[in-house]
Structure 1
Amino acid sequence: METSPKEWVASNTTAGNNVWAQTNPDGGDSWIDNHRPAVAPYAAFDFPFNTSTEPSVYVDYSITQLFYTVNMMHDLAFVYGFNEAAGNFQDINFSGKGIGGDYVVANAQDGSSKNNAMFFSPPDGQHGLMRMYVWNATTPERDGSLEQDIVAHEFTHGISSRLTGGPSNADCLNDGEAAGMGEGWSDIVACILRIKPGDTRSLDLTLGEYVYGKNIRMYPYSTNLTTNPHMYQDLNKPNYKEVHNIGEVWASMLYEVLWNLIDEFGISSDIFAHKLDGGNAIMLQILLDGMKLQPCSPSFIDARNAIVQAEENLTDGKNKCNVWRGFAKRGLGLHASSTNSTHTDDYSVPSGCNRG
């Protein structure tokens, strides 16, 4: 399966079938005529970078890195099911499926804000928009386009928005638990991409440390309940109405499932190969498959059930206990419930799946 038949670069600059990357210092809505680095035909995109300078000095390096990471995310998502038929972001859809005409507009050093990033994901056929900002938490300032976990997080918003409810409906993750899980899926995909052979479940992962100087989440992602105490019933707390806090609870559950699968199958050293022979690859597959199966505006329970069903479809349920035990550890067990916005923890698993 060829993910980018015409390759990434259409000419001699950072524009191609999957993404157009450029700077956007004034923060406006135009992009076609914005600055992009240009090289001689067949020359390398090789630009200087120095951590002791302000981001504006290395803008061509930043644009190039953003172009690379978005293309990488496009190709990875393609092989796991976010392809043309599923509504991915491409100018030309070579299979004839999907609508096309919707490559990602990726703005490096976007001037419309600071200390954040965003991804606007309209329905299939309309451009996705990624705005990557400069962060001023350090001296000199740092560029969000250079932190892979942030770019991967933002691109995953495009995946989850178009797969949940189908590519023609991008409004299924707009509020409440659904919006929070959108943040959680983005965090866990960023985490999956950072796991490498030799890592163990003792690995704790933070987000945003390059640009912010410390974790941008409340807790590291960890399988240790002391390091990360998030539980399903935390959603009852007033400060867990904020989408990123909701997302942390969801991603913490998914991190447990991920490591249960890795403990069983190990780590695939080449997740792009799509061999589904490692726990990290299996996890990424059932995440995307689950998005396709869940209803519009899903609850935690809906999304959990969709992932369980995705695993059943993939392996005939051979790994269902690894999935259930991961959710149950964080309170989203078999009999977890949500009534009148009150979330009740449950740690039970289906018969035959002893808690581990």
Structure 2
Amino acid sequence: MGGLHDAEGLREQQSWAMGEGWSDFFALTTRNCLLEPERVVVGNWVIDDPGGIRQRPYDASYPGGFGDIGKGPRELADGLDYTKIHNVGEIWCAALLELTRRITAALGDKERAYRGTWQAVVDGLKLTPKNPTFLTARDAVLRALRDLRGGRLTEAGYPAVRQAAWESFAKCGMGFDAFCPTASFNGCRVGSELPPPGHED
């Protein structure tokens, strides 16, 4: 994002938040690919609290979604606050972890799924323009998965992986019908739909 000599690629609010989310994602998945059970908490050792440093564990029941961005405790249940950069980053991490789980289920091969997901996320970083929204970054990951077809992903396995990816993003409010006007925290509209038949990512 931004190229080799541009350090301003994550200056917008959503972009900056995703920086936090990517960090948590790699911290957790580099451990989870080798060990069981799945680790869903980060920074517990920093504050000597098993709940870690985030609002909620990154398990399959993580409560936040794209439509919650910009909303605070007065609008959300259980004291959740998505007006802060770190907290909004949780939503992006939760989506990527859901992506990892569903691709693992689709492929039935944990190692291959983790390697493929890492590759798609890293390739997505390269395809993402400067100061992206969550939806721009989502599209970059989907494009990266498509580019892995016929290589790391077999032609036969790709449709199930693509379906898993869209279902993961839709679960986290970033479905095909999600919308945001800018990369700020304002105007994020939840979307839960999958793309129509024939749509090319």
TM-score by length of structure 1 reads 0.47
Candidates 2, 8, 22, aligned match of 1:185 = 22
Q: Which residue pairs with 2:131 in the alignment?
A: 297
Partner of residue 10, structure 2 = 173
Which consecutive unaligned segments of at least 5 residues does structure 1 have?
1-163, 269-277
Matching residue of 1:349: 194
Q: Which has the higher strand share?
A: 1
C-alpha RMSD over aligned residues: 2.0
How many residue pairs get matched? 176
Asked whether the equivalents of residues 28 and 39 of structure 2 are also in contact (C-alpha less than 8 Å), the reply is no
Structure 1 residues 204, 351: CA separation in 2 closer, same or farther (over 3 Å shift)?
farther
Residue 267 of structure 1 is matched in structure 2 by: 110
Higher relative contact order (CA 8 A, sep 6+): 2
State the one-letter code of the partner of 2:192: Y
**Identical-pair percentage:** 29
TM-score when scaled to structure 2?
0.81
- Which whole-Å deviations, capped at 9, do the CAs of 1:261-319 have from their partners, x for residues lacking one? 11123221xxxxxxxxx111111101110000011000011000000100011116532
Task: Say if 2:151 is the partner of 1:314.
Answer: no
Distance 2:39 2:24 in 1: 13
Query: Which ranges in structure 2 are unaligned for 5 or more consecutive residues?
Result: 73-80, 151-157
Do structure 1's residue 338 and structure 2's residue 180 form an aligned pair?
Answer: yes
Letter in 1 for 2:16: A
Give, as a single letter, the amino acid of the residue that structure 1 aligns with 2:54.
R
- The alpha carbon displacement at 1:199 in A equals 4.1
Give the whole-Å Cα distance in 2 for the aligned partners of 1:339 and 1:217. 27
Any idea what SS the aligned residue of 1:338 has? coil
3-state SS, counterpart of residue 295 of structure 1:
coil
Structure 1 counterpart SS, 2:188: strand
Closer/same/farther in 2, CA of residues 184 and 198 from structure 1, 3 Å limit: closer
Select the structure that is richer in helix: 2
- Equivalent in the alignment of 2:47: 212
Cα distance in 1 between the residues matched to 2:71 and 2:134: 16
CA distance in 2, matches of 1:196, 1:287: 15
Shift of the 198–181 alpha-carbon distance from structure 1 to 2, 3 Å rule, reads closer
